[in-house]
């Protein structure tokens, strides 16, 4: 029976209305105007409200809507048709003259981009630079006549697991929304999002439409761009990832310098994480570092004196535990920068300085050629160099000739070749150019790499 509780509530209201004795001072305090609030100075003040941080940061977070035209093949008529397409996401103003950062996947393939501010103003925008690898794009708002609110990019990397953060964006297109959480992890590399990414993980709710929005700390600084979530439903499940501010700043700098792409330097090293047994054998307190398994001849690492078998412990003072972490730390540097590398060799730590450089070779995808005769006729192939291999495969050490396409019902297609296959050797000889693949006869032995596995075959 719920009636007794209800009766007590009614009686209490009646006594209050009749002027029953009460703490009028407590009542009066409820109706007093709120005191002026400022950005919290310590953890105790944060517990009261996030409002001061939101008030300082939200005006610089924008809504992005983009429109384009998608070309597709009609499954019934077999004709190519076009249909309008669009996307909605978020972005962050990082310079008062209208420089905006968002995710590349929000604007990729779009022709018209409109940016809406928190105060309902709208601006057309053009793309200055779109970096698919980091999933960061930089936009320039058009016809900006007065300074806009901005968020400061904090590249100090002094965040800690457990720090409070806010995610600000435009989820589901309902309008600007703020969610709070903590930093769940730092330097997440094994996410499958990017082979050169090192992400901030947060449990602040990130949902569709939040892409490109801000992850801010309690100082009101931008520490990351919200990019991806792990979810089975498509909605937030408390596992979100943000591109760290160091990479965001690298892409912004490239855009402002007039570059059309982000040139990522490399160290010329390939390695694998240490196992627990190897760490114990080497005298380490725990498994950490990247064991060097391969060096590019005359590359930055080789010139710095790094050797196969060395264990790279840190780059620029940042701990390295896997290849993704190394790629990220080196990739945030500008070509020609000198970085300090701490490594373990013969049980002793050593420090060397390496000057990181762009990957060798030109990225000229138009250099692909079609094989016209022989057992590989109809295959479009491209010889790999470190720059092309890194762009297409994420592995600058990959060697051989990659199959970029196949003519339908061609001899190469009937042989069983697939797009993306890497032809490693022919009759036991390494392949490094398309010329080696012309005029191949039946019975020729071929080795290809497909999905990380090497397969042997014979031309029919």
Give the mean model confidence (pLDDT) for residues 410-417: 91
Q: What is the pLDDT of residue 77?
A: 53
DSSP 8-class letter at 428: T
Question: Positive or negative, the Cα torsion across 54, 56, 59, 65?
Answer: negative
pLDDT tens sequence across 93-106? 999 999 999 999 99
- What is the spatial distance between Cα 448 and Cα 434, in angstroms, rounded to a whole number? 14
Going by pLDDT thresholds of 50, 70 and 90, the confidence category of residue 272 is very high
Q: How far is CA 312 from CA 182, 275, 286, in A?
A: 30, 14, 14
Environment class of residue 361 by beta-carbon count within 10 Å: exposed (0-12), middle (13-18) or buried (19+)? middle
Helix (H, G, I), strand (E, B) or coil at 455: strand
**In 10 A of CB 143, how many CB atoms?**
7
- Whose CA is closest to 241, among 315, 178, 184, 313? 184
- What is the spatial distance between Cα 458 and Cα 460, in angstroms, rounded to a whole number? 6
Give the mean model confidence (pLDDT) for residues 81-110: 89
Q: Is the pLDDT reported for residue 126 higher than 80?
A: yes
Residues classed as catalytic: 105, 135, 211
Q: What percent of the chain has pLDDT over 70?
A: 83
CB 338 within 8 A of CB 353: yes
Give the mean model confidence (pLDDT) for residues 313-321: 92
pLDDT tens sequence across 366-382? 889 999 999 899 999 99
> How much is the mean pLDDT over the chain?
84
- What is the spatial distance between Cα 363 and Cα 338, in angstroms, rounded to a whole number? 24
Give the mean model confidence (pLDDT) for residues 59-86: 74
Q: What is the pLDDT of residue 209?
A: 84
- Whose CA is closest to 248, among 201, 213, 205? 213
Q: Is the pLDDT reported for residue 20 higher than 90?
A: no
């Amino acid at each position: 029976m719920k009636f007794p509780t209800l009766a007590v509530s009614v009686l209490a209201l009646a006594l209050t209305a009749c002027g029953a004795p009460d703490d009028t001072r407590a009542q009066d305090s409820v109706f007093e105007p709120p005191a002026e609030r400022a950005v919290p100075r310590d953890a105790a003040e944060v517990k009261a409200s996030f409002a001061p941080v939101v008030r300082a940061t939200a005006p610089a977070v924008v809504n992005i809507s983009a429109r384009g035209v998608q070309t597709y093949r009609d499954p019934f008529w077999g004709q190519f048709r076009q249909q309008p397409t669009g996307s909605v996401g978020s972005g962050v103003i990082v310079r008062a003259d209208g420089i905006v950062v968002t995710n590349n996947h929000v604007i990729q393939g779009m022709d018209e981009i409109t940016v809406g501010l928190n105060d309902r103003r709208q601006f057309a925008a053009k793309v200055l630079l779109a970096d698919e690898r980091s999933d960061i794009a930089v936009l320039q708002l058009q016809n900006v006549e007065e300074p806009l609110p901005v968020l400061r990019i904090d590249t100090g990397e002094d965040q800690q697991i457990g720090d409070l953060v806010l995610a600000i964006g435009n989820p589901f297109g309902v309008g600007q929304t703020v969610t709070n959480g903590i930093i769940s992890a730092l330097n997440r590399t094994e996410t499958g999002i990017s082979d050169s990414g090192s992400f901030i993980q947060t449990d602040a709710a990130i949902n569709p439409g939040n892409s490109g929005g801000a992850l801010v700390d309690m100082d009101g600084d931008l520490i990351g761009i919200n990019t991806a979530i792990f979810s089975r439903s498509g909605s937030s499940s408390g596992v979100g990832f943000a591109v760290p501010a160091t990479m965001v700043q690298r892409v912004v700098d490239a855009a402002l310098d007039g570059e059309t792409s982000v040139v990522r330097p490399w160290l010329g090293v390939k390695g694998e994480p240490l196992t627990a047994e190897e760490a114990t054998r080497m005298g380490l307190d725990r498994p950490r570092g990247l064991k060097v398994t391969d060096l590019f001849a005359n590359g930055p690492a080789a010139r710095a004196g790094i050797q196969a078998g060395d264990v790279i412990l840190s780059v620029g003072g940042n701990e390295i535990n896997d290849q993704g972490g190394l790629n990220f730390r080196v990739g945030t540097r500008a070509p020609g920068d000198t970085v300090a590398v701490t490594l373990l060799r013969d049980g002793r730590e050593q420090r060397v300085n390496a000057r990181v450089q762009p990957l060798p070779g030109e990225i000229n995808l138009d250099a692909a050629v079609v094989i016209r005769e022989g057992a590989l006729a109809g295959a479009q192939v491209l010889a790999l160099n470190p720059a092309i291999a890194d762009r297409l495969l994420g592995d600058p050490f990959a060697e051989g000739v990659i199959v970029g396409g196949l003519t339908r019902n061609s001899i190469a297609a009937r042989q069983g070749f697939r797009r993306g296959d890497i032809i490693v050797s022919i009759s036991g000889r390494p392949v490094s150019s398309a010329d080696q693949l012309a005029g191949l006869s039946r019975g020729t032995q071929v080795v290809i790499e497909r999905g990380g596995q090497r397969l042997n075959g014979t031309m029919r």
